[in-house]
Amino acid sequence: MKTSELIWQDKQHQVLLELIEQIISSNGDASIFRQLYEYAENHFSLEEEYMIKLNFPEAEEHIRAHDKFRSELESMMQEFTSYDELFRKALAEFLSEWLKGHIYGIDKKLEAFILKSPYK
């Protein structure tokens, strides 16, 4: 694993920003849920793989946070009835909060840990 390969994490986070923009500007295409779900699963799996491989000390807490997101998204998908503006706003807000709280927080810690890992 080389330092330059860490770009994957930033690149994937950028995808979430694009998904938020799509949600805000979309006009009723609920397939965004599938995209979000697949995106989250792929991204979380990759971060979790690195955490386990490198014995990241905060892996348990980090994976718990991913699981919370997974279940919140799942319940939003189940409770969803209409993909109207109100709903899209709520979804975009949920994702923006995640971006601020998780990606700019705990994910940065993981990034720093991977960067100084002797195995990279």
Footprint of Fe ion (CB under 5 A): 47, 107
The nearer residue to Fe ion, 83 or 113, going by C-beta atoms, is 113
- Report how far residue 42's alpha carbon sits from residue 29's, in angstroms, rounded to the nearest whole number: 22
Q: Tokens 């694993």 label which residue?
A: 1
Tell the smallest beta-carbon distance from residue 13 to Fe ion (Å).
6
The nearer residue to Fe ion, 23 or 107, going by C-beta atoms, is 107
The nearer residue to Fe ion, 19 or 47, going by C-beta atoms, is 47
Tell the smallest beta-carbon distance from residue 28 to Fe ion (Å).
28
Tell the smallest beta-carbon distance from residue 9 to Fe ion (Å).
6
Tell the smallest beta-carbon distance from residue 81 to Fe ion (Å).
29
The nearer residue to Fe ion, 73 or 107, going by C-beta atoms, is 107
Cα torsion 85, 91, 93, 96: sign: negative
- Report how far residue 91's alpha carbon sits from residue 24's, in angstroms, rounded to the nearest whole number: 9
Residue type, position 8, single letter: W
Nearest CA among 40, 20, 3 for reference residue 89: 20
